[in-house]
Amino acid sequence: MDQYAVVGNPIAHSKSPSIHAYFAQQTGQDLVYSTLLGDEVEFENQVRDFFEKDGKGLNITVPFKERAFAMCDILSQRAKQAGAVNTLMMGKNGDLFGDNTDGVGMVRDIIKNHGQSLTAKSILILGAGGAVRGVLEPILAENPESVTIANRTLEKAHALADQFDCLASSFEDLEGPFDIIINGTSASLSGSLPPLKDALVNAETWCYDMMYGKDRTVFLQWAHERGADGADGLGMLVGQAAEAFYLWRQVRPETASLVDDMRQQM
Ligand code: ATR
């Protein structure tokens, strides 16, 4: 049976095996998807070994996405832009192909599952780390009116804004309201928020947090208290997996029902 796996460290709590098992069942595909604990020294050898043993595809997660990027012979345009790879497969002539499905997974979740358009919208993105770099190209492909990147370390916002031809700002200098705000900072992991002014949102603003949790995230709570609706990143997790599945199997699974199931089990 065709073998797939996700490599990361830590990896034990990865939801990817159950997500891909669900997709496989839903689409009638015969495959096995497991976890592989990435080794800090041996990562590249682990990847080569997997494909030498006829493995069909890997997902790559923290902290190996940049190392996977560096290993690839061929990269998709969106992986090049992201500087990171979350999906690997082997080409017919033995070339390692790398893609990044995080951004397109998020954008599809926003559009298809939440019914929000990004086209002609003013979009504020919080954060300028790897997570944000990975989603900028698919956001820009939707032709928003403007994209502003705000970050605690302003130089990083400027560097991304220069690369992707968008705007950069400190949190203090931001002037809202925005149509859409996307939180890509890792601040929520520790339950904190960047210093966000109330005037960034109004009741028409729609907020998306790349993080997700059982309870409403601190960012979505902040938005909710100011009358703004939104969604967390559980659908992004499922969405990036669906895009990887599509790349490997040429079948696009349906994601909304799985997100609902996972939400209920949290
Ligand atoms: P990731 O790969 O998850 O994006 P990262 O590259 O380390 O991780 O980036 C983390 C992002 O969250 C950065 O934009 C970081 O801001 P700095 O560039 O100024 O470090 C942001 N971040 C993390 N903790 C934060 C906090 N408490 N307040 C504001 N921004 C925070």
Give the pLDDT score at 144: 98
Which atom, in ligand 1's list, is nearest to the CA of 171? 29
> 256-265 and 234-249 helices cross at what angle (nearest 10)?
130
What is the 65 CA–ligand 1 centroid distance (Å)?
Answer: 17
Distance between CA atoms of residues 241 and 20, nearest Å = 7
| Cβ < 6 A, ligand 1 pocket | 127-131, 151-153, 156, 185-187, 192, 194
Residue 54 has pLDDT above 90, yes or no: yes
Higher per-residue pLDDT: 189 or 67: 67
Let me know: does 221 contact 198? Beta carbons within 8 Å.
no
What is the 187 CA–ligand 1 centroid distance (Å)?
Answer: 6
Task: Give the pair of three-digit tokens for residue 265.
Answer: 């089990």
User: Could you report the predicted ipTM of this complex, rounded to two decimals?
Assistant: 0.97
The pTM (predicted TM-score) of the whole model is 0.94
What is the 130 CA–ligand 1 centroid distance (Å)?
Answer: 9
Distance between CA atoms of residues 78 and 103, nearest Å = 8
pLDDT digits (tens, 9 = 90+) for 57-78: 999 999 999 999 999 999 999 9
Q: Does domain 116-232 have CATH number 1.10.10.10?
A: no
What share of the chain in percent tops pLDDT 90? Answer: 97
Is 131 annotated among the ligand-binding residues? yes
Which atom, in ligand 1's list, is nearest to the CA of 156? 18
Structural domain boundaries in the chain: 2-100+235-265, 116-232
Task: Using most ligand atoms within 8 A of CB, pick from 85, 86, 151 the residue to mutate for ligand 1.
Answer: 151
pLDDT digits (tens, 9 = 90+) for 70-119: 999 999 999 999 999 999 999 889 999 999 999 999 999 999 999 999 99
Is 152 annotated among the ligand-binding residues? yes
Active site residues: 65
Let me know: does 43 contact 66? Beta carbons within 8 Å.
no
Tell me which fold the domain 2-100+235-265 belongs to.
Rossmann fold (3.40.50)
Give the pLDDT score at 188: 81
pLDDT, the chain, mean: 96
Of 245, 237, 241, 240, the closest CA to residue 2 belongs to 245
Residue 191 has pLDDT above 90, yes or no: no
* 3-state secondary structure (DSSP) of residue 132: helix
Q: Do domains 2-100+235-265 and 116-232 have the same CATH topology?
A: yes
